[in-house]
Chains A and B, each alone.
Chain A
């Protein structure tokens, strides 16, 4: 008799926890936005975070972008060659990078490279009671610690995605034009004919902006929520990557359906 009742109450507890988790997440975002004034009054704090989040991620973004471009160039060439339309290689590489791969792969790398370090940093600050100490000193840790990281992530992510797409296109050019020998003029002119500045490039930038907000927010939230133990910080860091990546992939589907649906 107690079995089903307990199962039911466990289910109810689980639903309540999830819903209040969503509520807290929203309140967390609201609290960050409400304290965002510090990003304007002390821009140095933000620029330090852009340096930490953005500049240090540049190498991995450039290297991955280059290899993604290489692979797109090779695979695209083999497929297009079957239909005798290898001139469209530039268009294929550019569209897949600008619309999808640039923002998405950058966001996944961003979650792994920058999101984890944000979560770990804040979680350890919490574990070491530095955040509590700030509060004792009448410094709002959310305002002083979280808001600059939030805006740093939002600024860094679109820049990284744009760099990724650019390097990827150049990588596709190296493989397609320099190594395989696709005609350079056709490569670029097909690309320019097919890639629209507003529909493709601007939507890609918008996507990367949304992903930047998502990943940074998830990373900060997990760090802020982490249990103040070594194990808690480790778990929070893992959750940043898992939740952040899943959120990016799910959002990407939604955004693609909205932007390129018709």
Chain B
């Protein structure tokens, strides 16, 4: 086979590989849902983040408005510090609250933002004051059990 012909087929082979990679990234993977829109950063402290992971979605009214950036632990206040990268197109009032929610019964966890009513909006780097931790099922159950036990203990015997 002549050299030009070999080169042509090799070029075609490599292009096919590149096309397959693009397919895997865009059609099978989540690259298309990546937004390269400019973002601004907010931080929020949570008592308990449950199973929240970095790059989990931040949703408001169910619409993805950003992603969780970094998750770290602050040993001064013993709280989790979660960095949220929100798309610049979406602005929220300063008294908006963040809570960690679960999609469905067993789904992944995400940060839900509910808008407040203040005039001023969050600036880049500001902190969300009102936060609500993740619901930990074990704690919920134990609270419920202790609650029932206490109630039964406090009521005088019925005899």
Residues of A bordering B, CB below 8 Å: 44, 47-48, 50-51, 54-55, 58, 94, 98, 155-156, 158-160, 162-163, 165-166, 169, 188, 191-193, 195-197, 200-201, 204-205
Contacts and interface: CB of A to CB of B under 8 A. Distances in A.
B20 A54 contact: no
Contacts of A156: 13
Contacts, number: 80
A192 B33 contact: yes
Given A47-B10, A196-B29, A205-B21, 11 more contacts: A48-B6, A50-B13, A159-B14, A159-B16, A162-B24, A165-B24, A166-B19, A196-B30, A197-B25, A197-B29, A201-B29
A47 B29 contact: no
A98 B29 CA distance: 10
Interface residues of B, number: 24
A50 B10 contact: yes
B31 interface: yes
B29 A169 contact: no
Main secondary structure of the interface of A (DSSP, over half): helix
A64 B107 CA distance: 34
Contact of B24 (A55, A159, A201): A201
Interface in B24-83: 24-25, 27-34
Given A162-B20, A163-B16, A55 B10 contact: yes
B133 to A, nearest CB: 23
Contacts of A204: 24
Contacts of B13: 50-51, 54-55, 58, 156, 159
A195 B21 contact: no
Contacts of B34: 197
B3 interface: yes
A165 B10 contact: no
Contact of B30 (A48, A98, A165, A195): A195
B30 A193 contact: yes
